[in-house]
Amino acid sequence: MCIQEIPVEEKIYAENDRIAHDNRHFLKDRGILGVNVMGAPGAGKTSSLLQIIKGLAEQNVYVIEGDIESDIDTQTLLAQGIEAVQINTGGACHLDAPALQLAFPRLSLQQPGFLFIENVGNLVCPAEFEIGEHLKMLICSAAEGSDKPYKYPLAFEKAQVILLNKRDLKPYVGFDDSFFYKGVRALNPDAPIFEVNAKTGEGFLEVVQWFKERLGK
């Protein structure tokens, strides 16, 4: 369900932000870095997470999977021995802070480490809602084309780290590097952009290193 432009909007955002603030402290008190993983449908969010988690083998990692329906991604993670739980939003187009709060008791969250929260596949709505994360990772796919920063600016603007996945598909879709980077940098001068291939694992060494450096900050 997705509604816009209504008078109660500010109140709902304020209540969400209050709970997001609580979530952020809940995680920080346990030494856990919360990462809100955003991206369009099929960008490769779960495949990228699998590669990152493999690289973070010495760290404790927890995952919350947000989907409208199905638990396909959670089953994939559980099959790899990763502590993961599913949130089904039942139609809602993004995760919000109360949904995250309700999921916390379903994970152990006893040891310091990382909590990756994979948001609903959507390049619009997830960027508008704080859920209690410490940083946002945007995953886009080269197959989506190089004009995405121009059309969906908020997600690019708010990300602290950006993955350009399926880099191997660039030649097949005529991906324009210069147009893409120009668009991203106009919105976000600082976030590192890693070009990766989540199917093969190429490019993930640097991503993993970047995450390791974030822990404890």
Question: How many of the chain's residues bind a copy of itself (CB under 8 A)?
Answer: 48
Binding a copy of itself (rule: CB under 8 A), the pick from 93, 109, 193, 215 is 93
Regarding 67 and contact with a copy of itself (CB under 8 A), the answer is yes
Residue 3: count other Cβ atoms within 10 Å of its Cβ. Answer: 8
| 45-55 and 204-214 helices, crossing angle to 10° | 70
Token reading at 107: 């994970």
Binding a copy of itself (rule: CB under 8 A), the pick from 29, 57, 91, 108 is 91
Binding a copy of itself (rule: CB under 8 A), the pick from 119, 144, 184, 196 is 144
Regarding 157 and contact with a copy of itself (CB under 8 A), the answer is no
Alpha-carbon gap, residue 184 to 177, rounded angstroms: 11
Regarding 80 and contact with a copy of itself (CB under 8 A), the answer is no
| 45-55 and 72-79 helices, crossing angle to 10° | 20
Token reading at 210: 């970047």
Token reading at 86: 């599913």
Regarding 199 and contact with a copy of itself (CB under 8 A), the answer is yes
The 8-class DSSP code of residue 197 comes to B
CB of 106 to a copy of itself, least distance (A): 20
Regarding 152 and contact with a copy of itself (CB under 8 A), the answer is yes
For residues 30 and 216, the answer to whether their CB atoms sit within 8 Å is no
User: In the stretch 100-139, what mask flags binding to a copy of itself with x, by CB under 8 A?
Assistant: --------------------xxxxxx--xx----------
The 8-class DSSP code of residue 202 comes to B
95: left (phi over 0), alpha (psi -120 to 50) or beta: beta
Alpha-carbon gap, residue 211 to 18, rounded angstroms: 26
- Residue placing its CB nearer to a copy of itself in the complex, 82 or 154: 154
Binding a copy of itself (rule: CB under 8 A), the pick from 102, 172, 202, 209 is 172
| Binding-site ranges for a copy of itself (CB under 8 A) | 1-6, 8-9, 12, 40-42, 67-70, 72, 91-94, 96, 120-125, 128-129, 141, 143-145, 147-148, 150-154, 166, 168-169, 172-174, 199
